[in-house]
Structure 1
């Protein structure tokens, strides 16, 4: 028997009981809404067997970790749909992000927004199939054999091979992906999904690498939650700064500087008023100003962690064979 601390309430279960089984013993409502589990502070799958006394928290969609597992699983469903519809596609990574998920694909013919409904339809078929997500691990050499012909996966496996650890995979029906998890118990737990955008993204955020097709999406446990989210996005569009800036004559955007505003006279008045107020407040509380370079060496960004985590969103250049990035 093992003793499991459920937020202060200790219960005994048979050794090897899974987090999902514990959730079911508490109530079917919790079991059906469970996305992942946290055992002694470590997030894991609901199917994880519990072999010793521990603390356990069942993570639902209401938690950040629960959302992460939910959206991560949906990214795998999308990748499976794309692989079914477009055989020969090379797939790279598909993480959960702050609001949803994405997956990057290397395709002979890049996707367009017109392709999204077809992919969504295939995703819904996969969800209806209610495929279990099964985790397994392989030694590096076996992992390479499994992912043969998928260069991005082969590259990731090669990086992990030096650590001497087995490589973790998740399988759902005819689709297998290199992944650490955690994931939902099955594809059928995803109830509402919407693919929202397509963009280009360099592999690993490096402009020296190939441009991949990135597909974004969002999913929820209820259709009503998805509709509410989409309505919120529509409302946000009405308040989009690009739309308001144009309507109010504050600034303009041009193709010569995508994402960089050209401030018009009214916009400069507003901008300077904000800067004046900012200086007034800082002076009031005893702050002084300094000025630092706009562009700095890669070495600094590596020390700060930006290079590893945000490089794909940074503006970089090369000066005298050394990488630099704008702050």
Structure 2
């Protein structure tokens, strides 16, 4: 027998001393883990029945207005100083078209773009800013820039794919309407059609708009609403209620109203205590704040219309930049991706800065449906699907013949290539997966269950079982 490699030897040696090691963490993230004390049922009666324009919207806006007065008073103490902005072509700008100088705390990326051409300013989605230096009265911590990105952290803990983060200590994605705070070594104006960061920003803003629509229509308790590589979603707590396909049209109609209002996306820095007061009605936002924002620090929220949400940003200038939206699908999920936690309702959407782009997208979706193997296999009576085992195929007679033919083909080539077949158990004490490392990285995606007080799991792969042999 060939000598065991190091990983295999580690697993083989480890199983000699089996002990049950408890723990729910499956991934690494910054700061304490939400739900690290065990299963969470925190939604309670925060949502009981669908309620249009619930009272908490006005209450939250009132608290926001009080906090904004404090931030405006702080902002009034800032001293604008002249700054320069260098564009990607190396050209350094310092003045508006009316010859007034660019100044910190006043000049925005939109202003810089407008000094070049109004069309450039209006067609840009977001800015990527690399600072040469910050002005003396700028403090990143006071500006909420040193706190954790609460949405990305929540996505990480739920094992969701999150957008790429900003690069460099002084390079940031920056709202077009947010004042610059120092001399800029490089200012890039990003457009939806040309840059993935621009698409991410566009769909992130669209997710906020979807959240606003869901609060208006149903009074849902919003959790997280991130952008994806091709669209976005928002997760909501709705108690025992659930989304249905007939909800799509009202949501689309409400989104149209939000788009027409051209609501400004407004960034505001808040202390942890202020944020807790803002989201006193929402146990999920409370959990994020309590766990992810250290005491005595600041974070940021964004407002559009009467939606106020925890968010690092950046966002579009206003909701009118979105020209077309469609609700695409819905599903059930769980808080932090853990089936022991509250059940949430997820609604997906897609949006574009041009109605023609949505039309093309829908046409492509229809073409993809025609090529969908699930549809073809069902049409050819090879397999069937059932809601009591979603995502799993029931092989019908014709499909089973093909399935067995493929198995025979694989087995034949096992023998040709000198392999021997073995069969291992389907379930093991979780300690095997602790030793192999699978539990540390993938436990939240494994099927775990209790056996006489010890934690077991169905095998996600064969190798550790082979190591035992």
Specify if TM > 0.5: yes
Q: Is 2:201–2:314's contact at 8 Å kept on the other side of the alignment?
A: yes
Q: Is 1:5–1:54's contact at 8 Å kept on the other side of the alignment?
A: yes
Unaligned runs of 5+ in 1: 284-288
Give matches, 1:237-256, under 5 Å.
237-255=369-387
From 15, 19, 43, give the equivalent of 2:103.
15
The structure whose Rg is larger is 2
Match of 2:359 in 1: 227
Q: Is 2:203–2:231's contact at 8 Å kept on the other side of the alignment?
A: yes
Q: Is 1:24–1:31's contact at 8 Å kept on the other side of the alignment?
A: yes
Q: State the 1:7 CA deviation.
A: 1.9
Q: Deviations over 1:123-178 (max 9, x none)?
A: 11111111101011111111101111111111111112326431210011212111
Partner SS state of residue 114, structure 1: helix
From 86, 92, 100, give the equivalent of 2:223.
92
Higher relative CO (Cα under 8 Å, sequence separation at least 6) belongs to: 2
From 236, 241, 251, give the equivalent of 1:105.
236
Q: Deviations over 1:233-286 (max 9, x none)?
A: 11111111111123345444345543223451124435665x589989xx8xxx
From 12, 36, 40, give the equivalent of 2:126.
36
> Matches of 1:257 and 1:165 in 2, distance apart?
46
Match of 2:205 in 1: 73
Match of 1:286 in 2: none
Q: Is 1:157–1:167's contact at 8 Å kept on the other side of the alignment?
A: no
Q: Does 1:266 align with 2:402?
A: yes
Partner SS state of residue 183, structure 2: coil
Q: Is 1:200–1:211's contact at 8 Å kept on the other side of the alignment?
A: yes
Q: Is 2:328–2:350's contact at 8 Å kept on the other side of the alignment?
A: yes
Give matches, 1:1-327, under 5 Å.
1-13=82-94, 14-16=102-104, 17-40=107-130, 41-50=171-180, 51-62=182-193, 63-87=195-219, 89-108=220-239, 109-162=241-294, 164-255=296-387, 257-263=389-395, 264-270=400-406, 297=433, 300-301=437-438, 304=441, 311=444, 314-319=445-450, 321-322=454-455, 324=457, 327=460
Partner SS state of residue 303, structure 2: strand
> Matches of 1:45 and 1:293 in 2, distance apart?
54
Unaligned runs of 5+ in 2: 1-81, 95-101, 131-170, 461-469
Relative to its length, the structure with more strand (as a share) is: 1
- TM-score normalised to the size of structure 2? 0.60
Partner SS state of residue 200, structure 1: strand
> Matches of 2:262 and 2:318 in 1, distance apart?
6
- The CA RMSD over aligned residues, in Å, is 3.1
Cα distance change on mapping 1:37 and 1:268 into 2, 3 Å:
farther
Cα distance change on mapping 1:270 and 1:3 into 2, 3 Å:
farther
> Matches of 2:371 and 2:112 in 1, distance apart?
46
- TM-score normalised to the size of structure 1? 0.84
> Matches of 1:47 and 1:323 in 2, distance apart?
53
Deviates more, 1:169-178 or 1:109-118: 109-118
Deviates more, 1:123-132 or 1:264-273: 264-273
> Matches of 1:201 and 1:298 in 2, distance apart?
26
